[in-house]
Amino acid sequence: MSAVRPSPTSGTAHRVVILCGPHTTHRNTCATLIDAGLNVVGICVADQRKAGLPLPYLVKSVRQKGLLPTLSRASARVVYRLMDLGRDRAAMARIFDVPAIEATLFNWNGPIHKTESFSAPETIEWLKAMESDIFVVHTSYWVGKKVRSLPRTGIVLGGHPGITPHYRGSHSAFWAIYFGKQQDVGCTAFLLSDGVDTGDIVAQDRIPIADDDSFITLSWKGMKRTAELQAEAIADLDRGIPLARRSVTIPANTEFDNPRLSEFLRYRLRQQRVR
């Protein structure tokens, strides 16, 4: 990623646009930044699901990784949901205060743009019109270089529910626990770059494992904490404090995919603490 450009003036409220998905975890990020008093001037929501299913992702996965690996990963997800859906619903309600999130977004009442792709021409035009200083990104969809070049400060602040650069990609909590590294369950706020979760680190934190956590609930907790880290970093910028950043070297074999069914079953057999 190109170097972060200085803010035009110090001690000013930067214009923040959030690029996110449609789910509670994403809406919480929006509410966290708004509740922190940041100058959120727009929200861009991308959703490529068809009939509630991630069909474009599945098609892409089959093309790139093959039918059988894709089916195995989908099967692992189905088995997990059959075993843990009820407890995860209860955990979602404990982790996220949905009424408070929705109240914050209702009272904010700013412009929201919905799209299937952040790179769609009409979406890029909308993002340009927002005249943003900073993008905050919470989405599973790719944010290309053309979009990342739009903020005036050059700051595109992403987040990941895992400790980068060692656990990048999908379900970092799962893989940390799978390899016996429960101390590596955590989250990262970082500057988006051309790679998958490879950008300079702005802030990190570990997530303690509670009773009845699953690798999914730990990811939710990581997303929630990441939003707080992002809000703290931008609030510092608004006060004229430079953005902290640490460059990283990407180790080999640190980008992970969704677990296959055999890996999920092995995970459950290896340890009994985390669902």
Give me the CATH number covering residue 138: 3.40.50.12230
Tell me if 161 is assigned to some domain.
yes
> What is the signed CA dihedral for 185, 187, 48, 90, rounded to 10 degrees?
60
Number of folded domains in the chain?
1
Range scoring the smallest mean pLDDT among 35-44, 54-63, 164-173: 54-63
Predicted local confidence at residue 11, as pLDDT: 60
Kindly state the average pLDDT of the residues 31-57. Answer: 89
Are the C-beta atoms of residues 185 and 175 closer than 8 Å to each other? no
- Indicate whether 168 pLDDT > 80: yes
Tell me if 8 is assigned to some domain.
no
Predicted local confidence at residue 50, as pLDDT: 76
Domain that holds residue 201: 15-270
The DSSP secondary-structure symbol of 246 reads B
User: What is the pTM for the complete model shown?
Assistant: 0.89
pLDDT digits (tens, 9 = 90+) for 112-157: 999 999 999 999 999 999 999 999 999 999 999 999 999 999 999 9
Tell me if 102 is assigned to some domain.
yes
Tell me if 1 is assigned to some domain.
no
Contacts of 115 (CB under 8 A, 6+ apart): 44, 45, 46, 47, 122, 123
- Indicate whether 53 pLDDT > 90: no
Tell me if 249 is assigned to some domain.
yes
- As a whole number of angstroms, the longest Cα–Cα distance in the chain is 55
Reading the block at residue 245, the tokens are 């950043």
DSSP H or E stretch at residue 241: none
- Indicate whether 187 pLDDT > 50: yes
- Indicate whether 52 pLDDT > 60: yes
Tell me if 198 is assigned to some domain.
yes
Q: What is the CA radius of gyration of the chain?
A: 19
Task: Name the one residue in this structure whose structure tokens are 């619903």.
Answer: 89
Among residues 176, 177, 237, 228, the alpha carbon closest in space to that of 203 is found at: 228
Tell me if 3 is assigned to some domain.
no
Q: What is the mean pLDDT of the chain?
A: 92
Tell me if 7 is assigned to some domain.
no
Tell me what percent of the residues of the chain surpass a pLDDT of 90: 81
The amino acid occupying position 206 is: R
Note the helical H segments in 23-131.
24-35, 55-65, 67-95, 98-108, 121-129
Question: From CA 130, how far away is CA 73, in angstroms rounded?
Answer: 39
